[in-house]
Chain A
Amino acid sequence: MTRVLVVDDAAFMRMAIKNMLESNGMEIVGEAENGAVAVKKYVELKPDLVTMDITMPEMNGLDALKAIMQLDPQAKVIMVSAMGQEAMVKEAIMSGAKSFIIKPFKADHVLKTINSIL
């Protein structure tokens, strides 16, 4: 089973992603509400996949992505972005994010994206 770490500052978004992934046979091993927690949890949990929101307090998704990539160059991180964040998504891709999904997302888009990188 794919073990996923869901990172988003909005509990609502975490719930949405969690519901979506769990109903498709993935295991949510952890949730993080900001980048700093995400990095800590990544080290702890070693998930197969991370969904990473970009706009977050404390440490944003880009910095968290960079930190995670430094710790584990093989990390599979999918950015969760919104329209208007093109520049950041681009930077994330350059920093090693495997792909991205755009809010508001549809289940099949998310799954397609995730399956393409697993």
Chain B
Amino acid sequence: MLKVSNLSISYKKINAVREISFEIREGEIVSLIGSNGAGKTSTMKAISGLIKAKSGSILFNGKEILGMSPTQIVSAGIVHVPEGRQVFSKLSVGENLQLGGYLTKDRKVLKERMDYVFDMFPILKERIHQKAGSLSGGEQQMLAIGRGLVTGAKLLLLDEPSLGLAPIVVEQVFEVIQTLQQNGMTILLVEQNALDAMAISSRTYIMESGAIVMEGPSEEVAENEEVKRIYLGGKETWVSSLHN
């Protein structure tokens, strides 16, 4: 569905991302993990058109999207749910969701998508008239994902969805991601929470200093001694404990 080849991104003179290649197949969750500054967010921003890449290619369903504007990329069916939620805090929950449908002219389709989001996140329906900025962190994350879904995207780029959330809420977010996949969504997941990300994804890429240093099926990557040492620190989290 998405094929990234030899993608390089640089800021001024610094190469943030160097010649990376990876692939996401329809219906799968792929996790992209790595330490801070490894280039994960830059990679996502290049896919969604927020920043320009230096070279490489990004094919979405066989079509080159590198160089397209963010608007064109959203129309093509990719939505980026950014780190730190980034909801429109002074607008109401309902308006935030409507703006997800900014490019959707068909009102009936828009209504269906809104209903789908309200089904998945009933709390958003309860808070529809509330300002988005007044929601809790977890609710804002649900709203950011919901707003992404209203765009009608086929590929969801989730940047650190669990960052800064309470453990119980993190659990809910990971459940939501799995539900979305079951409903047919394809997801690229960038996470600090490496173990949880690997537990729900089929394949994992590990990024270090702008390059992909390891890739493979998530359970294999998770078993790698080096990965365990660096990212997991031997800790168990809720998902891994379920798997034991």
Do the two chains belong together in a single complex? no
